[in-house]
Amino acid sequence: MVGTAVAAAAAVAEGGPVPAQVQQIEIDAAPGRVMSVITDFDAYPEFLPEMQSVDVLRMAPGEWEVRFTVRVIRELTYAIRLVQPTPESIQWTLIEGAFKANDGGWVLEPLDGGARTRATYRIDLQVGMFVPGNIVRSLTQRSLPDTLSRFKAEAERRAAVALGGGVGEA
């Protein structure tokens, strides 16, 4: 998904497969609220600066096909198929686009009786372009945590709005 932008930078830099990236973050929002942010694809450009555009190509209960255009080093467009096998997880695979492979997912674990969430994000990506390794290391070390922090901030913002403690829409 959007972390693809980060992993893409890594794959572009190395000109091939990058070891799967796994990150975790704790979010002060219930898992359902976090999942609603993850599956609100149309909102991504509002809180993810690298996201240029999103087009939901197909939607069915628990399944989506979505085209993303991201800007990392250069503009990259790709489409993925997402499946939500449980209310606390979502997985995706590449349909077409800028990558040889793009697989990943989110797993959400309730914390504190379901009031908070531990989100685990995994992406396994392969691209066939080349960029110097020092650029990719910088992007990977900074961008993936930044992306997860943006999802955290958006989920927490929506949770605060839902409770009447914030400004904006739920």
pLDDT at position 135 is 52
* Alpha-carbon gap, residue 103 to 1, rounded angstroms: 9
Tens of pLDDT along 59-106? 999 999 999 998 877 788 999 999 999 999 999 999 998 878 889 999
More reliable by pLDDT, 116 or 5:
116
Asked if the model's pLDDT at residue 148 lies above 70, the reply is yes
Q: Any alpha helices (H) in 29-132, and if so which ranges?
A: 31-38, 44-47
- Domain count for the chain: 1
Asked if the model's pLDDT at residue 113 lies above 50, the reply is yes
* Alpha-carbon gap, residue 115 to 32, rounded angstroms: 10
Residue 154 is part of which domain span? 3-162
Backbone angles phi, psi at 154, to 5 degrees: -70, -45
Residue 169 lies in a domain: no
Rg (CA), the chain: 16
Residue 168 lies in a domain: no
* First CA to last CA distance, the chain: 22
Average per-residue pLDDT for the chain:
84
Asked if the model's pLDDT at residue 141 lies above 70, the reply is no
Looking up residue 128, the CATH number of its domain turns out to be: 3.30.530.20
pLDDT at position 129 is 61
Residue 24 lies in a domain: yes
Q: Which residue matches tokens 């972390």?
A: 3
More reliable by pLDDT, 126 or 76:
76
